[in-house]
Amino acid sequence: MTAPNLTMRVLPPLPRRWRGSYLVERNIVATKSFWPVLISGFFEPVFYLFAIGIGVGQLVGDVEVGGMVVSYQAFVAPAMLAASAMNGAVFESGNMFFKLRYVKVYDGIIATPVTPSEVASGEIAWTLARGAMYSAAFLVVMYVMGLVSSPLGLLAFPASLLIGFAFGALGAAATTWMKSVQDYDLVNLVILPLFLFSATMYPLDVYPPLLQKITWLSPLFHGVVLVRGLTLGVLDWTMLINITYLTVLGIIGSIITSRRIAHVLLK
C-alpha cells in the first residue's frame, strides 16, 4: 500500500515555480495563530474616516478637487484608503526584523534552493497581500457609505496595490538595517509625518510653498492623488507621474532588499 502524502499545500503548485511563493505560503500558515492582530490594522483608517471625515467634515464643508466640488468626507476617504495600503505593507515588512535578526528564519531557508532574492520577493509579496486585504475591505466601506462617485473607483484597488508595493519594498529594505527593537521608533517617525503631510487632510494648495515642494517627494502623496482622482472620477495626465514614481520606488526597494538580505545572511 502506498503511504499517504501528508504534505498539505496552501498554494496550488505552479509550473517552474517561483520559489518566493514558499515565503508567502509560510506566512499564511503562521498568520492563522494571530489573525486578530492581522485584521486590527484595518480599523485605524476607518476610525480616522469617521472621526475626521464625518466629525471635522461638519465644520470644514465642501472641498474643490480638479474643479469638482465634493464633500470633505469624500475628499478624506481616498486618502485613508491609501494610508490603509501603506500601513498594511509597512507594518508587515517590519516583521522581517524578527525573522532576520532573532528567529533566524532565513538562515535555514537559504540552505535550500531558495535564493536571497527569492526571499526578498516572497516577503515583499506578502506585505503586498496584507496591504491588499486592508485596501479591499476599506474600499467596500467607501462603497457602502457612498464615497465612490465614479465607476473608475474600481481602479482604486489596483492603485492601492501599487502603493502597497512601493511601501512594502521600501519598508523591507529599511528593516534590513535595523539592529534593535528601538529602531521601530524611526519607522513611526517617518510614517506619521507622511500621513499628516501628504495632502491627506487638506488640499496641497493650502500648504506653504516650501512644504508643497517637499510633499511632492512623499510616496503617500502620489498614492493619495492617484486614488482620490480615481474614486472621484477626476483624471489628469499627471497620474502617470504618480504611477511611475511609485513603481520606481517599489523596484528600487526590491533591489535593495534583495542585496541587503544576501549581505546579512551570506557575510
Residues 134-139: what's their mean pLDDT?
85
Angular region, 61: left φ>0, alpha ψ -120 to 50, beta rest:
left
Residue 171 in domain: yes
Residue 18 in domain: no
Q: Which three cell numbers stand for residue 92?
A: 508587515
CA dihedral for 145, 151, 152, 157, sign (positive or negative): positive
Residues 154-176: what's their mean pLDDT?
92
**DSSP-derived 3-state class of residue 63:** strand
Residue 19 in domain: no
Domain span at residue 240 reads 37-266
Nearest to 224 by CA among 159, 151, 127, 155: 159
> What is the C-alpha to C-alpha distance for residues 86 and 122, in angstroms, rounded to an integer?
18
Residue 32 in domain: no
pLDDT band at 1 (very low <50, low <70, confident <90, very high): very low
Does the pLDDT value for residue 2 go beyond 50?
Answer: no
Angular region, 68: left φ>0, alpha ψ -120 to 50, beta rest:
beta
Interval 67-107: pLDDT, tens:
788 888 889 889 989 988 888 888 878 778 888 888 788 88
**DSSP-derived 3-state class of residue 13:** coil
* Residue 131, H or E segment: helix 116-144
Residue 115 in domain: yes
Q: What are phi and psi of 200, to 5 degrees?
A: -80, -45
The structural domain count of the chain equals 1
Residues 6 or more apart whose CB falls under 8 angstroms from that of 256 comprise: 169, 173, 176
pLDDT band at 261 (very low <50, low <70, confident <90, very high): confident
Angular region, 8: left φ>0, alpha ψ -120 to 50, beta rest:
beta
Residue 4 in domain: no
Better pLDDT: 108 or 155: 155
Residue 31 in domain: no
Residue 87 in domain: yes
Does the pLDDT value for residue 7 go beyond 60?
Answer: no
Residues 6 or more apart whose CB falls under 8 angstroms from that of 113 comprise: 19
Please state the pTM of the whole predicted model.
0.85
Rounded mean pLDDT of the chain? 82
Nearest to 261 by CA among 86, 157, 156, 115: 115
Give me the pLDDT at residue 108, please. 81
Give me the pLDDT at residue 10, please. 53
